[in-house]
Amino acid sequence: DGGITQSPKYLFRKEGQNVTLSCEQNLNHDAMYWYRQDPGQGLRLIYYSQIVNDFQKGDIAEGYSVSREKKESFPLTVTSAQKNPTAFYLCASSTRLPGQGETQYFGPGTRLLVL
Amino acid sequence: AQSVSQHNHHVILSEAASLELGCNYSYGGTVNLFWYVQYPGQHLQLLLKYFSGDPLVKGIKGFEAEFIKSKFSFNLRKPSVQWSDTAEYFCAVNGWAGNQFYFGTGTSLTVIP
């Protein structure tokens, strides 16, 4: 099956702890994204990567870090500097179809809870 | 900067009622437009998209959207909703030159049987 997988589905973090959320895609997409979804605020972009070994900050990058060492993987680390990390985190990837521009596809998400 | 506005935050309809969800964006260049749907407990799915050509776009499950360039709008419509359409709907915009996507805050639709 082709798609985007995120693990774990639920993640609990203690105060002051760093945690890493996994995102893997086997769609051969070049671009990958991390969003944070909070009630009433829609999706806000944390980081995105257009190609391996390159990534850019989104609108709310503070307290987060990413790496893109492989095309299929784009892990997100939520650091202790992120003061309000409880949220639903969505990973996405996109491809440019001929004559159609980019289309984005989403994983099932990881819900992070701070204890 | 691009921004996307969805004016309806919560919509409650009875089955068979018609639906129109508003989406406006602010961007002066060529854009690609999307509607995504998130059913309860499921991940975001692409409902329909506009890139070029006919401004009336038809998507899955009987949804359609009309791109009105002069109004910077891309409203989603369905003539007769079903209980299974209960979900959260997100409008998104992508500029032709870049990969970044901008999402609206979402509209929660509840359809009462």
In angstroms, the Cα distances linking A41 to A38, B88, B111 are 5, 12, 22
Query: Which pLDDT score is estimated for A101?
Result: 72
Percent of chain A exceeding pLDDT 70 equals 95
| pLDDT class of A1 with cuts at 50, 70, 90 | low
3-state secondary structure of B61: helix
Q: Which two tokens stand for residue A100?
A: 């159609």
Q: Residue A8: is the preceding peptide bond cis (ω within 30°)?
A: yes
| Other beta carbons less than 10 A from residue B24's beta carbon | 18
Nearest-by-CA chain B residue for A31: B99
Query: Which pLDDT score is estimated for B27?
Result: 72
Query: Which pLDDT score is estimated for A41?
Result: 83
Chain A residues with CB under 8 Å of B45 CB are 106
Query: Which pLDDT score is estimated for A98?
Result: 65
Q: Which phi and psi (to 5°) does residue A89 adopt?
A: -110, 130
Query: Which pLDDT score is estimated for B97?
Result: 53
Q: Is the dihedral of CA A38, A107, B31, A61 positive or negative?
A: positive
Query: Which pLDDT score is estimated for A115?
Result: 81
Name which of A42, A100, A103 is nearest B90 (Cβ-Cβ).
Answer: A42
CA B44 to chain A, closest CA, distance in angstroms equals 6
Pairing of strands A42-51, B3-5: unpaired
B57 touches chain A (CB under 8 A): no
Give the type of residue at A18: N
Return the number of CB contacts < 8 Å for A and B.
Answer: 57
Q: Which residues, listed in sequence order, are joined to residue A38 by a DSSP beta bridge?
A: A42
Are A35 and B90 an interchain contact pair (Cβ–Cβ within 8 Å)? no
Q: Which residues, listed in sequence order, are joined to residue A9 by a DSSP beta bridge?
A: none
A11-63 pLDDT per residue, tens: 998 888 999 999 999 999 999 999 999 988 889 999 999 899 999 999 899 99
B81-93 pLDDT per residue, tens: 999 999 999 999 9
Q: Which two tokens stand for residue A42?
A: 């829609």
The stretch A69-85 carries a mean pLDDT of 94
Pairing of strands A19-25, B31-38: unpaired
The low-confidence residues of chain B, meaning pLDDT below 50, are none
Q: Which two tokens stand for residue B19?
A: 């639906």
